[in-house]
Copies of this chain bind each other. A is one copy, B any other.
Amino acid sequence: MEVIPHWLTKQAYLAPEQVAIETEDGQMITFLKLQQMSESFAKKLAHLGITDKSHVGILSTNDPLMVVAIHALSYIGATCVLLNTRLTKNELNFQVTDAQISLILTNDDMYDHVRAMQFEVPTYSFSYVDTLKEKASVLKDELHLNDVFTIMYTSGTTGLPKGVVHTYGNHWWSAIGSALNLGLNRNDKWLAPLPLFHVSGLSICIRSVIYGIPIYLLKKFDAKIVHQAIMKKGVTIASVVTVMLQRLLDRLKGARYPSSFRCMLLGGGPCPQTTLEQAKLKHIPVFQSYGMTETASQIVTLSPKDALSKLGSAGKPLFPGQLMIKHPDDQGVGEIFVKGPMVTKGYYRRDEENNRLFQDGWLATGDLGYLDQEGFLYVIDRRDDLIISGGENIYPSEIESVLSEITEIKEVGVVGKKDETWGEVPVAFVVPKVKTLTKSYINTYGRKFLASYKIPKDIYFVDQLPRNATNKLKRHVLMDWVHKKN
């Protein structure tokens, strides 16, 4: 098991005065300050009884104090469970129980909202914890790369979300793989308009500390602010999803980003060809990528130099990563398997699934794709029936299982529908038991249990659902139906 110095302590020692976090309202936190704040916060958490055995939930919109809290947990050696702020109480409750969380931390913006949810475990705001006394405690000065650092939930085909366990090593190797791919300049500044509770956002925090570069942290995506940051704030790399890129393209109009802006890292699902072509016309260095929570962010990336000749490809796997297409058909299409030290070792307390999905270090992604002759990956179908909407993953089965609880519904099938803004949105086919069932009734019920981005944007009443001989829902027929209706 490899051991490295604690990455924040190390960076605070190497570059104490370097800016670690810069915010849209002009706040600047150096690595030394970030270390001091994080160590102090760790000792205050210790006062609350948090130890290296604790699982602590963080339910926060982007906030420098959220970064402090995450690092503080690493100083204690506690496990940090990152919770999606858009989820309903029911969705969160499942994760709180499943991840065995003993305490939830929130930022001030979220505090009232979270308090109202009345979780069974204590909930404190970062600023409340900050008022506590520090408890004398031994903080970690080293990180063991095999130790668990974070858990993040991702939905699955079964409908039950699974906690993806990331070790320090997973995050470390992901950061190194990205640096070997994109290079590393002393003047880099990485813009994070993505939520830190997703791996796409969190990974920027980790890279910041390992590379010794600032993260330009936004509360949330705002095209105007991102545009300004790229134009005037020295941002050199930005992580975005397709809908963000599209809004930025609209805002850019005829202007051009500074030449020091060297990478628009595009993740979170497929991107329409027209968007890529527009970006090319506007000289935006778009790096398409393929990744998932399980791979601790991008594991396959396409550089701009190949963007045009390999349109639609996600690129090649990053240096420490490997990729394999298993059981390819005549056209070379098969299931995508990934392997590498950035790939999670498994889901939290899901032995059966872990045994099934992980073989000899290879993870079955469930996605379908093929490699061209030069080894570029083309993803042709996302895992099972995954819907990706504005970068958020949605599993139809999760929506189906909630809506089928409505007594007036006989059965329900959900699929994704193409959407100009979000890429895809979920739509539902419902076989009602009673004629009086209305769409608004279904949606009102759904909102109690499902995050808003999971609420079907269209509901179609039908007489029956297409099923095969073994009674399995033929989702591709539903997709054809959607196609015909639009």
- Asked whether A316 lies within 8 Å of B184 as measured between CB atoms, the reply is no
- Asked whether B5 lies within 8 Å of A320 as measured between CB atoms, the reply is yes
- Asked whether B184 lies within 8 Å of A186 as measured between CB atoms, the reply is no
- Asked whether A2 lies within 8 Å of B183 as measured between CB atoms, the reply is no
Residue A185 contacts which of B5, B142, B183 (CB distance < 8 angstroms)? B183
- Asked whether B2 lies within 8 Å of A169 as measured between CB atoms, the reply is yes
Count how many chain A residues have C-beta atoms less than 8 Å from C-beta atoms of the other chain: 32
Residue A322 contacts which of B5, B185, B210, B339 (CB distance < 8 angstroms)? B5
Residue A341 contacts which of B3, B210, B316, B322 (CB distance < 8 angstroms)? B3
- Contact of A94 with B by CB under 8 A: no
- Asked whether B316 lies within 8 Å of A4 as measured between CB atoms, the reply is no
Contacts of A2 in B (CB 8 A): 2, 169, 173, 341
Contacts of A316 in B (CB 8 A): 13-14
- Asked whether A319 lies within 8 Å of B3 as measured between CB atoms, the reply is no
- Contact of A180 with B by CB under 8 A: yes
- Contact of A179 with B by CB under 8 A: yes
- Asked whether A341 lies within 8 Å of B186 as measured between CB atoms, the reply is no
Contacts of A445 in B (CB 8 A): none
- Asked whether B169 lies within 8 Å of A180 as measured between CB atoms, the reply is no
Bits for A175-217, please: 1 = Cβ < 8 Å to B, else 0: 0100110011110000000000000000000000011100000
Contacts of A328 in B (CB 8 A): none
- Listed from nearest, the 7 A-B pairs whose CB atoms lie closest are A2-B341, A184-B184, A4-B320, A183-B184, A5-B322, A13-B375, A183-B185
Seed contacts A4-B320, A14-B316, A183-B184; 6 additional CB < 8 Å A-B pairs: A2-B169, A3-B339, A3-B341, A5-B320, A11-B319, A180-B184
